[in-house]
Amino acid sequence: MSTFTAPKGTYDLLPPSSATFLAIRERLSAPLRRSGYGYIETPVFEDIKLFSRGVGESTDIVSKEMYSLTTKGGDELGLRPEGTASVVRATLQANLHKLGNLPVKLWYSGSFYRYERAQKGRYRQFAQIGAEAIGAEDPALDAEVIILADDAFRSLGLSNYQLLLNSLGDKQCRPVYRTALVDFLAGLDLDEDTRRRAEINPLRVLDDKRQSVQDQLVDAPMLRDFLCEECKAYDEQVRALLTAAGVAFVDDPKLVRGLDYYTRTTFEFVHGGLGAQSAIGGGGRYDGLSEMLGGPALPSVGWGLGVDRTFLAMEAEGIVLDLPATTSVYAVALGEEAKNVLFGKVTELRRAGIATDLAFGVKTIKNAMKSADRSGARFALVAGDRDLAAGVVQLKDMTTGEQIPVELEALVTTLKEKQL
């Protein structure tokens, strides 16, 4: 055993679970790739002010959970706690919004970092698939990203989840609500840290998960009662489009999510089998983020779906994906001369697109065939000096046990005919 272990709040992604994680990433991103979203990668660390300005200084993410570091040159950097601010920064830096094709539709996949209390479903390094549609204000765009997320979850077989939906209004109607909420919160018994948060962004108090706080918020004013006519109409159109597409949702007037940049449409997917850490994804509209980062007005909408949480949700529902075997053919050589020949054939098979492995090291035929069985291979290639002298290898079907000789020169063709 190693002297070292993975840092607290992290884990090693190992086979065979890693194959499922790769499949989850593939299926969560597939609807985006079919819908005009281009792939983007951004650095895992950024100027720390990008997050304090974009995500919000009042958020726990920035004030308590962000990993920060100072470079040797004195620059203050932060490991990215979420993806949206970086994607908008990259869009502005590369002037993608000036290419004349708005919205700029992007998707990403990667790891993110938050110093949180480590527990199952809440990790300090976690994986997400994200989508951002930058530069258009359109209820149909909000509906599109939500539908794509719902389609992604359903492609994995998930069913025990709900879509929570709310509207946070805009710069016209939210200040009125903010005043009413501040007045309400002033009369509550809140700790000093929560009061400080309420002064910066009182909506964040609604997102407080502590039961002692939630009990006091029962009679809190609801933002929906303060929405302007334009925001009401926008929200109704989003809901109508979701309903027409067969996407069910639950109205949640207290849903604000954890980031300061959200406006209007806000949503979250929660799973019934995950306990307290029930969110498997979410997002919303963020019309003012570009301006917060020094760019022009670029109304935008997007989401992030948790790969780790989705994996746990699938476990909770007992979903096992039908994944292709990583090895289709396993080669077993009986002797060094046979190994040299089979090594060449293994390379040839791989170049022909057939997933092939070879028994390495000194193994008895019994142990080598056990390795072939554990590999999940459909066929085993077995060859000794006598086989090679005859110009053949033995092809064994690992399911039926049937074994037939195949000419060396016909090996690739024979296996391709078996649809490998």
Each residue of 64-96: pLDDT tens digit? 788 999 999 999 999 999 999 999 999 999 999
pLDDT at position 109 over 80? yes
> Is position 361 annotated in a ligand binding site?
no
Residue 145: which residues within 8 A CB-CB, separation 6 or more? 131, 133, 283, 301, 302, 303
Give the tens place of pLDDT for each residue, 285-331. 999 899 999 999 999 999 999 999 999 999 999 999 988 878 999 99
114 is in an annotated binding site: yes
> What mean pLDDT is reported for the chain?
91
Q: Which residue has the higher pLDDT, 275 or 257?
A: 275
Q: Which phi and psi (to 5°) does residue 201 adopt?
A: -150, 90
Q: Is the pLDDT at 349 greater than 90, yes or no?
A: yes
Known binding residue 132? Answer is: yes
Looking at the domain covering 329-417, what would its CATH class be? alpha beta
Please report which confidence band the pLDDT of residue 59 belongs to, taking 50, 70 and 90 as the band edges. low
Long-range Cβ contact pairs of 404-410 (< 8 A, separation 24 or more): 408/341, 408/345
Where, residue-wise, is CATH 3.30.930.10 in the chain?
17-173+227-316
d(CA 108, CA 171): 29
Q: Is 83 part of any known ligand binding site?
A: yes
236 is in an annotated binding site: no
User: Residue 182 has what pLDDT?
Assistant: 86
Is residue 259's pLDDT more than 70? Answer: no
Q: Which fold has domain 17-173+227-316?
A: BirA Bifunctional Protein; domain 2 (3.30.930)
Task: Give the pLDDT confidence score for residue 58 in this predicted structure.
Answer: 56
Q: Largest alpha-carbon pair distance within the chain?
A: 92
* pLDDT category of residue 28 using cuts at 50, 70 and 90: very high
252: pLDDT strictly greater than 70: yes
Task: Using the predicted structure, report yes or no on whether residue 383 has a pLDDT greater than 60.
Answer: yes
74 is in an annotated binding site: no
Which regions of the chain carry the CATH code 3.40.50.800? Answer: 329-417
Contact 234, 139 (CB under 8 A): yes
Is 67 annotated to bind a ligand? Reply is no
Query: Does the structure show a pLDDT above 90 at 206?
Result: no
* Residue 121: per-residue pLDDT: 76
